[in-house]
Structure 1
Amino acid sequence: MNNSDRLNKKALLPLIMTVPVVFACVWFLLADEPRGEAITKAASTPATTSEQPEPGITEAPLAVGEDTPIPYQTPDSLGDQPFASSLAGTNIDGNLRADANGELIVDLETRDFFDYFLNTIGEVSAEQALDQIRTLAQQSLPESAAREAMALLNRYLAYKDASLALGNQGLDPARQHDPAYQLEMLKGALADMKQLRRRMFSADTHEAFFRLEEAYGDYTLATLDIQQRTDLSAEAKNTLAEWHRQQLPEVIRRTETRMIEESGDHRARQQALSDADSPSEAGRRLRELGVDDAQAREVVAYMEEREQFDSQYQQFQQALASLDNSGLAEEDRTTQENRLLKQHFDTEQTRTWARLRALGSQSP
């Protein structure tokens, strides 16, 4: 996974949603993958929620160019036998790094690194996961940077516990399915989360860990708000949504724009398939929309296969109707039905399709 993908992942995942699922997303955002008090107790130093950085932590500059040599960095992999089986075959997401002065470089890669190991808790004990972080920090970084990393991890664990407590707020059951109420609750939840993060982390760490996520959150709230407005035309809503999109940091603006374009392309292609009178026409329409020839041929071949199946299924249904009027005993009828399946459908796949369609036609 490259640096851009990692940035996009943390910024986009928590808030990719639509109005019907906003309410559920409030709890996803508030929980922020907390692991409970057991994690904090397993940390090597006491947690604190003061507004100043942990003693000994000196945030390094956030922007480190990809071509800048990094003297100290944790490895990319845990090897062939990681401590948790779920990590087998994966590279470590994120890393811990230190500059030439031996100071910890705090960026989004740091948070990704913490989460990669913390997400194994439950599969392994909190102590095991934390010990892996501690070991890699001590083996890969200067002593001072390793201490800074563990102090920052301790603060991050305390933040996760505090964010869990934020999720324990009461809701109005009578209004929980109201989109306006969902949006109101989401705004309040994100505001509370921002305040908690600013209280628990230094300005530099807050910027490094949460800037992209919060920028996308603000954008999502703005666009949801626009969609709920009744005094705006569809054109005005689209214009305002695009204006908000242009305010996003470039790295997630590109991703958001690509997602929208791909969604539009998908809808156009589905419409082309629906409007086509034949598989060959569907292929022509897809090529006009920019689908490459190989993919268009695959779609045409599949549609032709389904078209042939539909014809065979009609003949099969006619043969079944004759069975229904034959007065056969149930056992004999089943035997004859299986014979007809093999007679009309020459592959196991098409026979399975036929059984599924028959079951579907019997559903109330």
Structure 2
Amino acid sequence: MKRTSIEARRWLFPGALSAILAGSGLWYGLTDNAPSQASSAVSKPTQSAILADSTRPSQESGEQRGLENLAQESGPATTPDSLGPQPFAASLSGTEIDGALTADDNGELVINLQVRDFFDYFLSTVGEVSPETAIQQIETMARTHLPEPSSAQAMALLDEYLAYKQASLQVMQTRLDPARAGEPAYQLAALGDALAQLKQLRSATFSSEAHRAFFGLEEAYSEYTLATLAIQQRTDLSEQGKQALVQWHRNQLPEQLRTTEQHLHASSRQQQARTAAIESASSPEEAGRQLAELGVNQQGVESVVNYLKQREHFDQRFEDFREAVDREASSGLADADLEKQREALLERHFPQPQDRTWARLKMLGNG
């Protein structure tokens, strides 16, 4: 794929990059079919790398060569995990760098999700600093801490990532048909189409290795998400049938995603059971007994029981307050006097500010 150099692209980004940094989070999984011509994209320096090289002295100092040799002898080179006490953007103060650029024993760039996280860490500052500044910081880190060819490969991959970010803006701006925007089936189809376009864009922009490393997990989870949404919309399946199909799709996830999703699913079911126990209980004490049977520890049971007792006490006080207000309303007081009396009653029945707030909300039908 023909690419504009980073230096040239910098002049295109001040408006575009800021708008699309958060716009590429849609996920979708399709069969991986990255074009073969992209397979060597990372192994060749881009025009930006060549231009960057031309700005440096043609001869490295002996000290620089010595540092590079020392890094190679001591193990794979990698970027540091911090920018120090005074980073180039104030928002990064006190943070560790997400991800890293790493060279293997042969000086080749290790292509994994850490690389994308590293790029995003610096690009997230666009708006606070100029796109040029954020990109230059990435280049400085790569040139300073990685040997060749990994530093040039990192810049080539950054070049591709910026091209993807820019091109994805058009996909993300696709508008829904207002007349059908409320239809779940239409929403699902539109989301699937948009995510499929992003997948095709990624395949056309990156090598298959970089594509899988940067977006593989996202695309696997997006396929799972779209499948489960489609299952929930089907009217020809029983609830048991839907659950069985969702579980089948969950089992197809990569191991790390599957483990997390199963844990979240189990936690959700557990929470639903505990909520049902509280709602069905005839008293706070009964709710506590049911929660204990569901595995809630003693401290948790006590906190829930105490809260439910407080709510019961509040509800009783509110009933007394409402009866008192009704008596005052029937006494023939003028509206202004009635409002003053209502506030006095509110203070008397609810001396705590938080309780008064809840009482006011309940008076409005929100408590």
Q: C-alpha root-mean-square deviation of aligned residues, in Å?
A: 2.7
Distance 1:249 1:340, change over 3 A: same
CA distance in 2, matches of 1:210, 1:350: 49
Report the AA paired with residue 200 of structure 2: Q
Q: Choose the corresponding residue for 1:250, options 232, 246, 255.
A: 255
Q: Which residue of 1 aligns with 2:41?
A: 53
Q: Is the 8 A contact 2:122 2:135 kept in 1?
A: yes
Q: Which residue of 1 aligns with 2:128?
A: 123
Number of residue pairs the alignment of both structures matches: 310
CA distance in 1, matches of 2:127, 2:148: 30
Distance 1:154 1:29, change over 3 A: closer
Deviations 1:189-233 (A, max 9, x none): 222222211111111111111111111122222222333333333
TM-score using structure 1 length: 0.77
Report the AA paired with residue 23 of structure 2: A
CA distance in 1, matches of 2:22, 2:337: 61
Q: Which residue of 2 aligns with 1:341?
A: 346
Q: Which residue of 1 aligns with 2:62?
A: none
Q: Which residue of 1 aligns with 2:239?
A: 234
Distance 1:354 1:80, change over 3 A: farther
Q: Which residue of 1 aligns with 2:93?
A: 88
Deviations 1:143-164 (A, max 9, x none): 4322221221111000111111
Q: Which residue of 2 aligns with 1:265?
A: 270
Larger radius of gyration: 2
Larger displacement relative to structure 2 (249-258 or 166-175): 166-175
Q: Is the 8 A contact 1:30 1:164 kept in 2?
A: no
CA distance in 1, matches of 2:291, 2:93: 40
Q: Which residue of 2 aligns with 1:288?
A: 293
Shift of 1:266: 1.6
Shift of 1:254: 0.6
Distance 1:310 1:250, change over 3 A: same
Shift of 1:257: 0.8
Deviations 1:229-275 (A, max 9, x none): 33333222222221121111000001111111111112111111110
Q: Is the 8 A contact 1:30 1:166 kept in 2?
A: no
What's the % identity of the aligned pairs?
A: 52
Deviations 1:123-171 (A, max 9, x none): 2211222122222223322243222212211110001111112234464
Asked if 1:132 corresponds to 2:137, the answer is yes
CA distance in 1, matches of 2:323, 2:217: 61
Helix, strand or coil at the partner of 1:105: coil
Q: Is the 8 A contact 1:97 1:105 kept in 2?
A: yes
Larger displacement relative to structure 2 (104-113 or 232-241): 232-241
CA distance in 2, matches of 1:351, 1:170: 46
CA distance in 1, matches of 2:263, 2:215: 22
Helix, strand or coil at the partner of 2:365: helix
Q: Which residue of 2 aligns with 1:217?
A: 222
CA distance in 2, matches of 1:226, 1:358: 42
Report the AA paired with residue 180 of structure 1: A
Deviations 1:33-87 (A, max 9, x none): 69xxxxxxxxxxxxxxx734045369xxxxxxxxxx9632222223344333333
Structure 2: runs of 5+ lacking an equivalent: 1-19, 27-36, 47-73
Q: Is the 8 A contact 1:30 1:167 kept in 2?
A: no
Q: Which residue of 2 aligns with 1:31?
A: 23
Q: Is the 8 A contact 1:70 1:97 kept in 2?
A: no
Shift of 1:188: 2.2
Q: Is the 8 A contact 1:33 1:160 kept in 2?
A: no
Distance 1:75 1:54, change over 3 A: closer
CA distance in 1, matches of 2:22, 2:324: 59
CA distance in 2, matches of 1:186, 1:354: 43
Q: Is the 8 A contact 1:73 1:140 kept in 2?
A: yes
Q: Which residue of 1 aligns with 2:155?
A: 150
Shift of 1:331: 4.4
Aligned pairs (5 A) from 1:50-199:
51=38, 52-54=40-42, 56=44, 71-169=76-174, 171-199=176-204
CA distance in 1, matches of 2:257, 2:21: 18
Q: Is the 8 A contact 2:108 2:148 kept in 1?
A: no
Q: Which residue of 2 aligns with 1:306?
A: 311
CA distance in 2, matches of 1:288, 1:197: 50
Distance 1:177 1:333, change over 3 A: closer
TM-score using structure 2 length: 0.77
Distance 1:233 1:332, change over 3 A: closer
Q: Which residue of 2 aligns with 1:325?
A: 330
Larger displacement relative to structure 2 (207-216 or 176-185): 176-185
Report the AA paired with residue 343 of structure 1: R
Helix, strand or coil at the partner of 1:92: coil
Report the AA paired with residue 82 of structure 1: P
Distance 1:358 1:172, change over 3 A: closer
CA distance in 2, matches of 1:351, 1:328: 23
CA distance in 2, matches of 1:281, 1:33: 45
